[in-house]
Amino acid sequence: MAQRERIVAELGRPETPEETAARKAESSRVYRSSQTFRNLIAALVITLGIVAIVIFAVPRGEPPAPEPIEVAAVAADVSGTLEGSTALVPVVPESWLVTSAGVAGDDPRTWTVLYVPADDAGFVRVSQGFGADATWPTRELSGADAAGTTTIDGVEWIEYDIPDPARAGNISAALSTTAGADTILVYGATDADTLRVVAAGLADQIVTAQEENS
């Protein structure tokens, strides 16, 4: 039985072959567009699912904590390379964190230990300039002037006036003294009381160095 020709309502007559071809082509285009959109949504859902699995399902370990720095052991190694000097080791509260300890520089060569006191957002740096001259602390402190002296456990220290910590590398307080041929500088983003704790923890070693070189 012959298929009846499609009547175009707007024209009131059967559609021509050209109109039939155009109608089918448009239908195919719309279908393909809808399929493409569905595929895009499906791909997006799958991608989000994979990301969620990676984030929530894949176990992630915490990075290992850094090994604690044994200041005394590092100082002993440093001292073995020196002639006429011993790297001093401050006696500080056990709760203080040591973030670095080592030797750097050439003029002068400097042994430096960096501490972060407990419950303190600041830091304290203890530097020993081997054979350093009298102007070395001022250079390290960006030109800060000596403000006076103070005696801590029998050792006389020079105190420094630092009116603008921002210009001095965030240093807000500093002390210096000599230990034999070396200069000891205790300074940091902290207060004078904290520096006195470090100075007291160095006193016995400084006295010994001064006596050996007197």
pLDDT along the chain (214 residues), means of 10: 55 68 71 66 75 65 72 94 90 94 91 89 93 92 92 96 86 95 95 95 94 78
Q: Choose among 164, 168, 174: nearest CA to 195.
A: 174
User: What pLDDT score was predicted for residue 88?
Assistant: 96
What span, in angstroms and rounded, lies between the C-alpha atoms of 119 and 64? Answer: 23
pLDDT of residue 1: 47
pLDDT at 86: 92
pLDDT for res 178: 95
Paired strand residues for 184: 128, 177
Per-residue pLDDT at 34: 61
Nearest to 192 by CA among 164, 173, 171: 173
Task: Report d(CA 72, CA 82) in Å as an integer.
Answer: 15
- Tell me the residue type at 135: T
**SS3 of residue 99 by DSSP:** strand
pTM of the complete model? 0.69
Q: How far is CA 154 from CA 52, 69, 144, 157, 199, in A?
A: 65, 29, 25, 10, 10
* φ/ψ (deg, to 5) at 70: -90, 95
**Res 201: pLDDT:** 97
Q: Exposure string (b/e) for 34-52, b if CB count within 10 Å is 16 or more?
A: eeeeeeeeeeeeeeeeeee
Q: How far apart are CA 3 and CA 153, in angstroms?
A: 115
